[in-house]
Amino acid sequence: MSATRTGESAAPGQADPRRWWGLVVIALAQLMVVLDATIVNIALPSAQRDLGMSDSNRQWVITAYTLAFGGLLLLGGRVADLVGRKRTFVIGLIGFAAASAFGGAATTPAMLFGARALQGVFAAVLAPSALSLLTTTFTDPRERGKAFGIYGALAGSGAAVGFIVGGVLTEYLNWRWCLYVNIPIAVIAVIGAFALLHDRPGHTGARLDVPGVVLGCGGLVALVYGFSEAQPRGWTDPLVLALFAAGVVLLAVFVWWQTRAPSPLLPLHIIRDRNRAGCFLTMMLAVIGMFGLFLFMTYYLQVILGYSPVKTGLAFLPMTAAIVIGSTQISARLLRHVGPRMLMVPGMLLASGGMVILTQMTVDSAYASEILPALILMGLGMGLTFMPVFSTATAGVAPQDSGVTSATVNTSQQVGGSIGTALLNTVATSTSASWITSHLTDPTRREQVVREGIVHGYTVAIWLAAGIMLLAGLVAGLMVTAKAPKHGTPADRPVPEPVA
């Protein structure tokens, strides 16, 4: 008899024949959150012209979202555990839709920045609630594999889908619809949540760890802000260095406080687990490389090859399809039979191989023969990796900790995305500038040399991303030692908290 047929914790989700429709609701919410991190990228030039944003301020359309989202995830996860995951899921959906409407109607840059920050706040509540609802609903190894395969596919492909949707909406409607599109999605998800999702009541007797909130969220905000400012200011800027220092100090004090807090924001036994810690680190390193790819390929396709926004979005479609196949058809089927690292390590090797192919691109590379194979390898690698990361990181967690564990997975994604965007963009721009300076000997070839220099900067940064992907594979191979779910700890049986 499988673990899901016994145990009180599995009964509510597994007894409901409509749980797969519930997965659709959860998946819609997750897609909305991930998609919104990139959907405005392609719309940004139009929004900048419309609202009169300066070049130095336009980054806040992206940064305001990632800052609030990444910085407040731990708080959102713990609130979900205390109040109840279904309740915070619905609150997050409604708040996200309202913030999207506010942003779509923006008449000034400040109004748009504020709306994006509000979106980030509600995303920080919504994302951990969605993943923890999935964790507590699907506990049978077979069903869990399918459910997390779908979830992993969305997490990996949502950013690419954002480029496609953003391109279509910007080209055929206007940039405001990149925000308005969230409203009907949220309405459908709210109706579905009330009709289909079930949850245990929250732990209302427990108290929120206020010092932990200030230290943990403050440290994460400082780090994410530091990485976002490193892109335009440079790594040695005093503000960037001060933010990094403040983030490290706050997080160090946060860890110390969590060993003494009566109701810790992040119980340390969650990250002391070797497999879970390995999953968090693998996720962060993988996303560093992935966000760098999205950033460079968007500019390469539009600026160097001259693609339209829609054509750029469609160019990412094969990668999206490969992520879905890798996650739902390969990882989800094999995870019941092999340990997670047997999927994660090959996944990172494939993704790194795709990156290495991209290092050969030039100013006139052919998409079908030189770019497409790399994108397909990257997609398959990400699909193989993300699904076991989500499943393994959230397996065996006590119900009262599922929200904060889910938040920690999402935090590793957000921090990885911030590091990847800042680090790889800085490497690319500085390398390009040096190459152009040393090769610009004939003024009549200036435009061609600049284009070649930009692509050279991209390829150097992509080499670095390929190395980071290999490091992610090494981490997964050494740290994630869990067995296949059917041989290991049942997903619905919490790992006991270590006795101090």
Residues 6+ apart with CB under 8 A from 193: 25, 86, 89, 90, 93
Residue 107: phi and psi, rounded to 5, are -115, -10
Output the 3-class SS for 422-477.
HHHHHHHHHHHHHHHHHHCCCHHHHHHHHHHHHHHHHHHHHHHHHHHHHHHHHHHH
| pLDDT tens digits, one per residue of 179-203 | 998 999 899 999 988 887 776 665 5
> Tell me, what's the pLDDT at 148?
77
pTM of the model: 0.79
Q: How many helices (H) and strands (E) does the chain have?
A: 20, 0
Euclidean distance between CA atoms 460 and 254, whole angstroms? 37
Structure-block tokens of residue 1: 């008899």
CA dihedral 321, 282, 394, 320 (to 10 degrees): -10
Residues 6+ apart with CB under 8 A from 89: 29, 80, 126, 129, 130, 133, 193, 197
> Tell me, what's the pLDDT at 485?
65
Residue 7, Cα to own-chain centre: how many angstroms?
Answer: 32
Euclidean distance between CA atoms 397 and 492, whole angstroms? 8
Euclidean distance between CA atoms 404 and 69, whole angstroms? 14
CA nearest to 347, candidates 383, 395, 300, 311: 383
Structure-block tokens of residue 207: 């108290």
Euclidean distance between CA atoms 326 and 255, whole angstroms? 36
H-only helix segments in 138-273: 141-172, 177-180, 182-196, 210-233, 238-258, 269-272
CA nearest to 375, candidates 415, 334, 325: 325
> Tell me, what's the pLDDT at 202?
55
> Tell me, what's the pLDDT at 494?
43
CA distances for 202 relative to 76, 88, 129, 407, 497, angstroms? 13, 10, 12, 16, 20
Euclidean distance between CA atoms 168 and 43, whole angstroms? 10
Residue 291, Cα to own-chain centre: how many angstroms?
Answer: 9
What sign does the CA torsion over 366, 307, 380, 278 have?
Answer: positive
> Tell me, what's the pLDDT at 252?
93
> Tell me, what's the pLDDT at 184?
92
> Tell me, what's the pLDDT at 56?
62
What DSSP element (H or E) covers 45?
helix 39-51
Q: What is the pLDDT along the chain (500 residues), one digit of tens a residue?
A: 333 333 333 444 344 567 778 888 888 888 888 777 778 777 777 888 888 887 667 778 877 887 788 878 888 888 887 888 888 999 999 999 999 999 999 999 999 999 999 999 999 889 888 878 887 777 776 777 777 777 777 766 676 778 778 878 877 888 899 899 899 989 999 998 888 777 666 555 557 788 888 898 888 888 878 877 776 787 889 999 999 999 999 999 998 998 888 878 888 888 888 898 999 999 999 988 887 677 778 778 878 888 887 888 788 889 888 988 888 888 888 888 888 999 999 999 999 999 999 999 999 899 999 899 999 999 999 989 988 888 888 777 777 777 778 788 878 887 787 778 778 888 888 888 889 888 877 777 788 888 899 899 999 999 999 999 999 999 999 999 888 766 444 444 444 443 33
H-only helix segments in 84-140: 85-104, 109-137
> Tell me, what's the pLDDT at 428?
85
Euclidean distance between CA atoms 227 and 12, whole angstroms? 42
- DSSP-derived secondary structure letter, 108: S
